[in-house]
Amino acid sequence: MSVSEVTSPASPSTSTSSPDPSAGPAHSGLQRLTARSGPLGIIGATVILLILGLWGGDDAYNLSVLTASLVYGIAALGLYYAYSVGGMFAFGQAAMMGLGAYLTAKVYESIGFVGGVLLAMVVTAGVGALLALLLRKAQHMYFAVGTLAFAELCVILFHHWDFLGGERSGNIYGIPAPGIGETELDLAGIYWLIAGITLAVVIVATLVNRSPLRRNALAVKNNPTVAQANGIPVTATRVRILVFASVLGGLAGALHAHTMSSIAPESYGVGVAIDLFLMVLIGGSGTMWGALLGAFVLRWLPEFLRPVQQYETVVYSFLLLATIVLLPHGILGGVSRLFRKVVGRRVRG
């Protein structure tokens, strides 16, 4: 997936963006699927969440992994909008999770779970807007380096800034579980709460997909010069997309803190940012559903590899590499391509 590139002034009819290696029938098909997915997609997501919840039942282990998958899915969904829609290598998404996690952990006793989550979303929205404005001139890897620097700065702050947790080297323990009023939820209740929040996020994302914001962002990503010539505000569009992505990152971080009950700076470092990118790429970077699927794949894959635990790292790396090589458009991209081939053969037959 190429990132939009601002070049010297040229004729509006001249393309200024670099070739997009991800462009192709499978990828374009997924983009159309994302744009058109509406009530059916929401209904499908609801059914899947219900099935997963019923399957998890009272099994604490399964419920914990399912809940973590949904939390990371929200963060990966935000990265999908920054990367796939906005064309920005936003390695700061994990740092946004960290900001959300530390903020809600610090203010929980004062304003409660809901207040902490809302505060995390507001603060990360502001930080995302500031970051987008600071890096508005940066393109391609320069933007990636800038967000990497921001991510590392946040990890240092988590370690040493007393307000965020520096008094314990950034480690905070005993964070209360999500609750309604003064009542903390059990594992099953936490899953259903996170599932409900995930569904709400999917509904909002669906509205964004059908809004001018997504269309403008894709236009800016593909050719900012032509987009600006057609009256699309390039900087404002990028800021809005990164703000939306950051809010989802902050929301995921706040939920992560309360579902895990403890946090550490390393939980939101560059390694986690890379994992989020892998979730988007493996699931399918051409659709928002790919980010959610990729989160489940990457959260559950280590669990399936426990029987070969001593070779887990090797097998895990091999499977990820094989997926990227054999399915360059992700799992959903491969499924879309296979579907197109089957349908094409039937039509020709």
Q: What are the boundaries of each domain within the chain?
A: 34-266
pLDDT of 10 strictly over 80: no
pLDDT tens digit string along 102-161? 999 999 888 989 999 999 999 999 999 999 999 998 888 899 999 999 999 999 999 888
Dihedral of CA atoms 73, 76, 81, 84 in degrees, nearest 10, equals -120
pLDDT at 12: 37
pLDDT of 29 strictly over 60: no
pLDDT at 342: 77
Give the Cβ contact number of residue 140 at 10 Å: 15
pLDDT of 265 strictly over 80: yes
pLDDT of 226 strictly over 80: yes
**C-alpha separations of 324 from 172, 278, 281, 318, 340 in Å:** 36, 9, 8, 10, 20
Question: Who's near 258: CB < 8 A, 6+ residues apart?
Answer: 104, 108, 113, 175, 176, 177, 178
pLDDT of 216 strictly over 90: yes
pLDDT of 232 strictly over 50: yes
pLDDT of 213 strictly over 80: yes
Question: Who's near 193: CB < 8 A, 6+ residues apart?
Answer: 178, 185
pLDDT of 28 strictly over 70: no
Confidence at 165, pLDDT banded by 50, 70, 90: low
pLDDT at 345: 60
Q: Which residues pair with 179 in a beta bridge?
A: 184
pLDDT tens digit string along 175-200? 999 877 677 788 999 999 999 999 99
Asked if residue 140 lies in contact with residue 291, where contact means CB atoms within 8 angstroms, the answer is no
pLDDT at 246: 97
Asked if residue 335 lies in contact with residue 287, where contact means CB atoms within 8 angstroms, the answer is no
pLDDT of 33 strictly over 70: no
**pLDDT, average across residues 211-234:** 93
Distance CA 339, CA 346 (A): 11
pLDDT of 166 strictly over 80: no
pLDDT of 341 strictly over 50: yes
pLDDT at 337: 83
Chain mean pLDDT for the chain: 85
pLDDT at 19: 39
pLDDT of 25 strictly over 60: no
Distance CA 292, CA 206 (A): 13
pLDDT of 295 strictly over 50: yes
pLDDT of 11 strictly over 80: no
Residue where the block lists tokens 């995390």 = 120
Confidence at 22, pLDDT banded by 50, 70, 90: very low
**pLDDT, average across residues 277-304:** 90
**pLDDT, average across residues 281-296:** 92
**pLDDT, average across residues 159-183:** 79
What is the 3-state secondary structure of the chain?
Answer: CCCCCCCCCCCCCCCCCCCCCCCCHHHHHHHHHHHHCCHHHHHHHHHHHHHHHHHHCCCHHHHHHHHHHHHHHHHHHHHHHHHHHCCCCCCCHHHHHHHHHHHHHHHHHHHHHHHHHHHHHHHHHHHHHHHHHHCCCCCHHHHHHHHHHHHHHHHHHHHHCCCCCHHHCCCECCCCCCEECCEECCHHHHHHHHHHHHHHHHHHHHHHHCCHHHHHHHHHHHCHHHHHHCCCCHHHHHHHHHHHHHHHHHHHHHHHHHHHCCECHHHHCHHHHHHHHHHHHHHCCCCHHHHHHHHHHHHHHHHHCHHHHHHHHHHHHHHHHHHHHHCCCHHHHHHHHHHHHHHHHHHHC
pLDDT of 5 strictly over 60: no
pLDDT tens digit string along 47-88? 999 999 999 888 899 999 999 999 999 999 999 999 999 999
pLDDT at 302: 81
